[in-house]
Amino acid sequence: MLMKNERLKLVSVGCLFCLLFSLLGFLLTKCEYSKYKNSVNNYIYRTFSLLQEKYPEITEKEFVSILNQEKSESFPEALKKYGLDEDSSLLLSMEQEYKTHQILILSFTFLLTATFFFFFFCYNAKKEKKIRELTHYMQELNHRNYKLGIELNGEGEISLLRNEIYKTTIMLREESELLKKDKEILKENIAEISHQLKTPLTSILIMLDNILENPNMEEVTKQDFIHNAHKQVENINFLIVSLLKIARFDADVVTFNQETISVNELFSTVFEHLKPLTQQKKVNIELKCPKKASFLGDFHWEVEAFSNLLKNAIEYSKENGSIFIDVVANSLYTKIKIQDEGKGMNKKDIENIFKRFYKGENSHKDSMGIGLFLAKKIIEKDEGLITVFSELDKGTTFEIKFLKKK
């Protein structure tokens, strides 16, 4: 309907142009006719002057009366003796010239009108073809077919529209691919979360069933079951809290404060959080850090990140082992190295260690594959860079670098 209205509008404009051309032709014709009349009147005046000079008795009234008489059906025979005939008559030649001008003007007007309509219909047909292509293209997009392409060239409104649709297609294609990828990740995460929750919940149910089914169970065994169930509940709580944190990062709703963080103060807080684990594993931690070493970031979240990194180093360290933390601070960056003497990792583990829910071949039995993933997210949120170097049976080194911000 819209296309028909536009065509009607264009035809109306074309008719208006043709009307203007016709009016122009009419005015030109009228102008030629006026010139023709002036020429004839001049000849008649000179003829009358000549006749009156030779024959004074001829009056103007008689001459005008003769001129106003009805036209003779045939050329006067008397004029032939003066060498004049229908083909050589001066007035006739003027009339023929006038008619020739008329034909030329009408031909020009017709040709101009025909040319206009020819180009109009060619342009309209080409435009309608492009619109049909774009309509088909949009229908395909509505059916979620984003694999189509449109040439990014040409000028004019249709070409600009094609270019904008092409850009929209690229954007929709990227969004579709991201959504598809997000769905796959979500599916994997849900499966992994279900697995992570299923194991501790199953253990809790088994232990509770044993307690309920054996009211005469020895107190030591019962307390052992209760202790293990409590530990599993703590693991579930840790998992849920960690997943909520990750969900906040995925939704990009985490707000980081930008403050100057003292590295010594940061590790002092981290050591306090991990003190029970450090004492249990009997691991010695050596910190070498300049007093003024610092970087810009969010203190609360960085405590979380470095607690996860150091916890990983403690869990994979041998009993009575050592962990070395070296800090280098200069005008360009602050670099923190955390090195353990643990089992180390193979190449596959190094490539995947920061992935969500990833567990290496030598993973700790209580590991959920979240800590390092979350640590990397936090560090990168503060525009830091984290890399890992490891060798089997020789330990692992995490290197974190924060560039100085101007």
pLDDT, one tens digit per residue, over 254-310 is 888 889 999 999 999 999 989 988 988 899 999 999 999 999 999 999 999 999 999
Tokens 């049976």, residue?
393
**pTM exceeds 0.95 for this model:** no
Token digits for 304?
């979380």
Nearest 5°: phi and psi at 262?
-75, 125
**Which two tokens mark 396?**
């692992």
pLDDT of residue 234: 80
Phi first, then psi: give them for residue 169, nearest 5 degrees: -65, -45
Give the list of residues 6+ apart from residue 285 with CB closer than 8 angstroms, or none.
271, 278, 310, 322, 323, 325
Q: What is the pLDDT of residue 389?
A: 92
* pLDDT band per the 50, 70, 90 thresholds, residue 398: very high
Task: State which CATH number among 3.10.450.50, 3.30.1370.60, 1.10.287.130, 3.40.47.10 fits the domain covering 158-250.
Answer: 1.10.287.130
Q: What is the largest CA-CA distance in the chain?
A: 164
- Residue with the bigger pLDDT between 324 and 233: it is 324
104 has pLDDT over 90:
no
What crossing angle do the helices spanning 299-315 and 263-273 adopt, rounded to 10°?
60
Q: Tell which CATH architecture fits domain 259-403.
A: 2-Layer Sandwich (3.30)
Q: How confident is the model at residue 31 (pLDDT cuts 50, 70, 90)?
A: confident
- Which pLDDT band, with edges at 50, 70 and 90, does 336 fall under? very high
- Stretch among 22-31, 155-164, 218-227, 393-402 having the lowest mean pLDDT: 155-164
Unique residue bearing structure tokens 């009307």: 19
Please write the tens of the pLDDT for every residue from 145-166: 656 555 545 555 566 666 666 6
pLDDT value of position 146? 55
Q: What is the pLDDT of residue 1?
A: 47
CB 206: neighbour CB atoms within 10 A?
Answer: 13
The DSSP bridge partners found for residue 262 are 294
Domain boundaries, the chain: 2-65+87-142, 158-250, 259-403
Asked whether 158 and 131 are in contact (CB, 8 A), the reply is yes
Which pair of tokens denotes residue 332? 């360009």
Distance of CA 212 to the CA centre of its chain: 61
User: Residue 390 pLDDT more than 70?
Assistant: yes
Position 208 scores a pLDDT of 87
pLDDT at 67: 63
The predicted structure's pLDDT at residue 236: 82
Domains 158-250 and 259-403 share a fold: no
In this structure, what token pair is assigned to residue 197?
A: 């929750």
Percent of the chain scoring above 70 in pLDDT: 71
List CB contacts of 174: < 8 A, sequence separation 6 or more: none
Answer yes or no: are the C-beta atoms of 356 and 250 closer than 8 Å: no
